[in-house]
Amino acid sequence: MSKIIISNVRIIDPENNTDKTGNIFIKDGVFSEPFDDNDVFIDGTGLCAAPGLVDLHVHLRDPGQTYKEDIITGCKSAAAGGVTSLLAMPNTIPAVDTPETVEYILDKAKNADAHVYVVGAITHDLKSKVPTDIDALRNAGISALSDDGRPVENTAFMAAAMKKAYELGIPVTAHCEDPYLAGGKVNEGRISEMLGVKGMPAAAEDTGTAREIALAAAYGLPIHICHVSTATSADMIRDAKKRGVKVTAETAPHYIMLTEKELEKRDADYRMNPPLRTEKDRLAMIEALCDGTIDAIATDHAPHSPDEKSDFVNAPNGSIGMETSFSASYTVLVKSGRMTLSQLINKMSCTPAKILHINAGSLSIGKPADLMLFDPTETWTVDPDKFHGKSKNSPFKGLTLTSKVKLTVCGGKIVFNEI
């Protein structure tokens, strides 16, 4: 394994309260004490180094829909965005509801450019009818539980999963949605009326969020709320934290940069679930990130083919995001002065690693050498044709963003390099 020296780089390591210029040494796959000889020397002048990003919400489409993405291409996309660890959601075909599917994903991921952590399904085929064998899934190697893509409609199953996950030391991540209120294509309101398209009310997300918080409060168990998009859900999470409820939450870059107005283009690349919301909701997501209500930024990376996305009304929900997540978040939060660079890295690396209970999110000596180098001053225009994954359905296409990932190291190996 290569010995790497990165010199004269700005080192940003929130875990160790570090923001200084210095050198980084990598040996045998971990961050090392200084040494003289090297296989790779990188001049980091003008660049920043930070722990590799940890993305808590990724759809790799493998097994079952590998024409959209697969484990290898998805991890190439991750590496290009500085993501070195990702949590793969269970709504594959088949769903991740048996040990065999878990083992398939982990085996294929051994050759990937990012660390892949697998979410096991709470119910078989994500249908809320029959609980999975969680012990067997954990023995096969899952790192979290969720029926993401769908809420767990049976509240008793959700409560049981939270209890079992706590015993096993893994998180439960919740797609918060009331299926009886959901089913729309875009946010319910002025834009949905103008488009003549069925809307999805904020209440669909808010009632789901309220249920999961209530379960966490009643049983004293942790819950992680996925892709928060509404001001009301943020308010409920904020209140729950003040009451000592063990709740953590994530939002996505598209919810802090974009609003439902994008749907006026009638382009399905701007359709996702939860949908893009109002300007009030967008500002509420930024405020919730800045005041600590929302703990993490995750992408909900959801690849689809161009053919699937060609029909505005009937296209599946979802957008890709790993190659733009850091730059979009930097542009909205750091460039604007709302957040320091260290605080952003904390939201995208250190805290997600803690939520997932993995050994990541730090540049400490002896820690796995997962790192990204980026230029905080570079501006670039998003061109999906230059992305490294199979799908191009980016809601950031054509936008000019600030900060650019230049190099990614995963497990001591350079997996992306545009220096």
Split at pLDDT 50, 70, 90, the class of 265 is very high
**Tens of pLDDT along 208-223?**
999 999 999 999 999 9
Chain centroid offset of residue 313 CA: 26
User: Which candidate, 87, 50, 56, places its Cα nearest to that of 367?
Assistant: 50
Mean pLDDT of the region 129-143: 98
Backbone φ and ψ of 278, nearest 5°: -85, 170
**Tens of pLDDT along 140-150?**
999 999 999 89
**Tens of pLDDT along 297-313?**
999 999 999 999 999 99
Active site residue 300: yes
Annotated catalytic residue, options 55, 295, 300, 370 = 300
Q: What is the mean pLDDT of the chain?
A: 97
Percentage of the chain modeled with pLDDT above 70: 100
Contact between 71 and 112 under an 8 Å Cβ cutoff? The reply is yes
pLDDT score for 2: 86
Contact between 133 and 95 under an 8 Å Cβ cutoff? The reply is no
Cβ neighbors of 33 (< 8 A, separation 6 or more) are 25, 365
Residue 381 pLDDT greater than 80, yes or no: yes
User: Which candidate, 405, 354, 358, 399, places its Cα nearest to that of 378?
Assistant: 405
Residue 1 pLDDT greater than 90, yes or no: no
Domains of the chain: 52-361 (3.20.20.140)
Split at pLDDT 50, 70, 90, the class of 339 is very high
User: Which candidate, 410, 405, 414, places its Cα nearest to that of 47?
Assistant: 405
Evaluate if pTM is beyond 0.85.
yes
Mean pLDDT of the region 348-355: 98
Contact between 175 and 147 under an 8 Å Cβ cutoff? The reply is yes
User: DSSP class of residue 93?
Assistant: S
